[in-house]
């Protein structure tokens, strides 16, 4: 299917270094972006969407989601939450390990099997059109280099430290190193205790363990001491993920420190949901607006933190609006009835965005109104369509 979006008011690239693309049209074919800019081959497209002046941005990548199997969360006993996140503009999520699987295994054979099964079960399953990167092995004592090799052969590329039966967090270091040897992206739970009897995982542990990403550096939900944040910023290159379901004050502290260090590419936005904090389909939008309205971050950069920054840290092919990238595109605008007239000024004002359309893998998943956000000021519509689909316009 060939799809075009025309009449775009502003194209946000998701690239922190060049956050705006000039032009008004995006053309997609076979799941990839063909062009983004002025003109483009709109004639000959099966579907043309009139953005009516709305802003286009890459689909949001939530890099901390507690998936299990299927579109179900045992923690909040809810079916269909991932499909609901698509209505918040989230087109991809990354598993924070399948730690919420009831009775989840704790032995090496069990955590290995769990990661492989989760990975393979989401390769072809896209809830609401979303891509789920699942199978994040929970590091436990006793895993061997051969275990990591076997998991890698079966496609597992995510490893998570923080829930294992280790006596201190320092003991994760050789396991994280083994996972990295097998080309896995490694994450460490940061902040309040997840290991019984331990005081928590703080900067000194992270500097020893050396993961790729500090998971919820602002606390999940309890933050480490303030004096540990400058150490992580200045003594490491670890990506720093801030989560909606965490400590807001330290989210703002992370933004301030990384701004001063001129390293905002290290700031990743995620939600850390579903958890005890609930299910948050609009969580990514809230954290973007918190950073834009309270931390003085330019709103177009908060888009990059929720898209391109996550894509870079996790080596994904979506998250940027550029030729050759996966065609995950979201049309957004200020919400109807508010004080602002466009997406960027809405974020700066502390508002969330209205989502007017979501495309994943080049396929429109809905066009018109998100069932979770308020209505957009400008009305996205299908201008031309030769394929028999409704795109959920009934919402």
Binders in 103-162 for Zn ion, by CB under 5 A: none
Place of tokens 């809905």: 366
Region of 32-40, 218-226, 333-341, 369-377 interacting with Zn ion (CB under 5 A): 218-226
Provide, rounded to whole angstroms, the least separation between the CB of residue 64 and Zn ion: 6
Give the C-alpha distances (Å, rounded to integers) separating 143 from 119, 148, 165, 209. 18, 8, 12, 16
SS (H, E, C) 158-184: EEEECCCCCCCHHHHHHHHHHHHHCCC
Which residue lies nearer to Zn ion by CB, 246 or 308?
A: 246
| Per-residue mark of binding to Zn ion, 297-336 (x: CB under 5 A) | ----------------------------------------
Number of residues forming the site for Zn ion (CB under 5 A): 3
Which residue lies nearer to Zn ion by CB, 187 or 255?
A: 187
User: How far out from the chain centre does Cα 174 lie?
Assistant: 27
- 180 closest CA partner among 207, 158, 195, 165: 158
Region of 45-53, 120-128, 140-148, 264-272 interacting with Zn ion (CB under 5 A): 264-272
Pairwise CA distance, residues 132 & 85, whole Å: 12
Pairwise CA distance, residues 278 & 32, whole Å: 33
- Chosen residue from 92, 96, 201, 363 binding Zn ion by CB under 5 A: 96
Which residue lies nearer to Zn ion by CB, 14 or 220?
A: 220
Which residue lies nearer to Zn ion by CB, 50 or 62?
A: 62
Which residue lies nearer to Zn ion by CB, 69 or 345?
A: 69
Provide, rounded to whole angstroms, the least separation between the CB of residue 217 and Zn ion: 12
Which residue lies nearer to Zn ion by CB, 220 or 299?
A: 220
Provide, rounded to whole angstroms, the least separation between the CB of residue 272 and Zn ion: 4
Number of H helices, E strands in the chain: 11, 22
Provide, rounded to whole angstroms, the least separation between the CB of residue 280 and Zn ion: 12
Q: Is 111 helix (H, G, I), strand (E, B) or coil?
A: helix
- 122 closest CA partner among 113, 132, 112, 114: 132
Which residue lies nearer to Zn ion by CB, 53 or 219?
A: 219
Provide, rounded to whole angstroms, the least separation between the CB of residue 92 and Zn ion: 17
Region of 34-42, 93-101, 167-175, 319-327 interacting with Zn ion (CB under 5 A): 93-101
In the DSSP assignment, the letter for residue 128 is G
Provide, rounded to whole angstroms, the least separation between the CB of residue 248 and Zn ion: 16
DSSP 219-278: -SSSPPPTTHHHHHHHH---EEEEETTS-HHHHHHHHHHHHHTT-GGGEEEE--BSBTTB
Region of 206-214, 246-254, 267-275, 343-351 interacting with Zn ion (CB under 5 A): 267-275
Provide, rounded to whole angstroms, the least separation between the CB of residue 89 and Zn ion: 21
Place of tokens 């066009």: 367
Provide, rounded to whole angstroms, the least separation between the CB of residue 336 and Zn ion: 34
Give the C-alpha distances (Å, rounded to integers) separating 136 from 20, 124, 177, 355, 368. 33, 17, 15, 30, 35
Provide, rounded to whole angstroms, the least separation between the CB of residue 42 and Zn ion: 42
* Cis? peptide before 221, omega within 30° of 0: yes
Provide, rounded to whole angstroms, the least separation between the CB of residue 246 and Zn ion: 9
Which residue lies nearer to Zn ion by CB, 25 or 194?
A: 194
Pairwise CA distance, residues 263 & 239, whole Å: 10
Pairwise CA distance, residues 290 & 305, whole Å: 12
Contact in structure between 278 and 91 (CB atoms under 8 Å): no
Which residue lies nearer to Zn ion by CB, 28 or 243?
A: 243
> Binding of Zn ion at residue 223 (CB under 5 A)?
no
DSSP 59-85: PEEEEEE---SSSEETTTTEESHHHHH
> Binding of Zn ion at residue 62 (CB under 5 A)?
no
Provide, rounded to whole angstroms, the least separation between the CB of residue 47 and Zn ion: 37
DSSP 26-63: EEEETTEEEEEESS---TT-SEEEE-TT-EEEEPEEEE
Which residue lies nearer to Zn ion by CB, 13 or 277?
A: 277
> Binding of Zn ion at residue 272 (CB under 5 A)?
yes
Which residue lies nearer to Zn ion by CB, 96 or 295?
A: 96
**Binding footprint of Zn ion on the chain (CB under 5 A):** 96, 220, 272
């Amino acid at each position: 299917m060939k799809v075009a979006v025309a009449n775009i008011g502003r194209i946000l690239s998701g690239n922190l270094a060049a956050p705006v693309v000039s032009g008004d049209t995006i053309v997609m074919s076979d799941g990839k972006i063909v062009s983004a800019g002025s003109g483009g081959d709109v004639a000959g497209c099966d579907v043309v969407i009139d953005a009516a002046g709305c802003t286009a941005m890459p689909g949001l990548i939530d890099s901390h989601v507690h998936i299990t199997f299927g579109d179900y969360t045992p923690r909040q006993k809810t079916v269909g939450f991932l499909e609901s996140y698509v209505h918040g503009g989230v087109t991809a999520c990354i598993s924070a390990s399948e730690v919420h699987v009831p009775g989840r295994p704790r032995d090496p054979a069990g955590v290995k099997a769990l990661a492989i099964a989760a990975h393979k079960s989401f390769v072809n399953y896209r809830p609401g059109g979303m891509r789920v990167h699942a199978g994040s092995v929970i590091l436990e004592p006793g895993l061997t280099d051969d275990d990591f090799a076997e998991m890698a052969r079966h496609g597992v590329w995510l490893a998570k430290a923080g829930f294992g039966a280790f006596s201190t967090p320092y003991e994760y270091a050789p396991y994280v190193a083994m996972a990295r040897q097998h080309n896995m992206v490694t994450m460490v739970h940061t902040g309040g205790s997840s290991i019984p009897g331990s005081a928590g995982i703080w900067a000194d542990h992270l500097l020893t363990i050396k993961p790729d990403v500090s998971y919820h550096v602002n606390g999940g939900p309890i933050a480490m001491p303030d004096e540990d944040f400058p150490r992580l910023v200045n003594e490491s290159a670890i990506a720093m993920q801030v989560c909606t379901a965490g400590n807001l004050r330290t989210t703002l502290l992370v933004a301030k420190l990384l701004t001063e260090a001129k390293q905002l590419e290290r700031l990743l936005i995620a939600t850390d949901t579903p958890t005890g904090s609930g299910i948050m389909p609009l969580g990514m939008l809230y954290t973007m607006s918190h950073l834009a309205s309270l931390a003085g971050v330019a709103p177009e950069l908060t888009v990059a933190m929720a898209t391109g920054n996550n894509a870079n840290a996790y080596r994904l092919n979506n998250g940027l609006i550029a030729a050759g990238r996966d065609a995950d595109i979201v049309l957004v605008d200020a919400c109807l009835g508010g004080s602002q007239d466009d997406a960027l000024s809405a974020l700066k004002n502390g508002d969330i965005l209205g989502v007017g359309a979501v495309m994943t893998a080049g396929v429109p998943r809905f066009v018109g109104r998100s069932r979770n956000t308020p209505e957009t000021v400008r009305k996205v519509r299908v201008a031309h369509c030769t394929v028999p689909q409704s795109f959920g316009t009934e919402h």
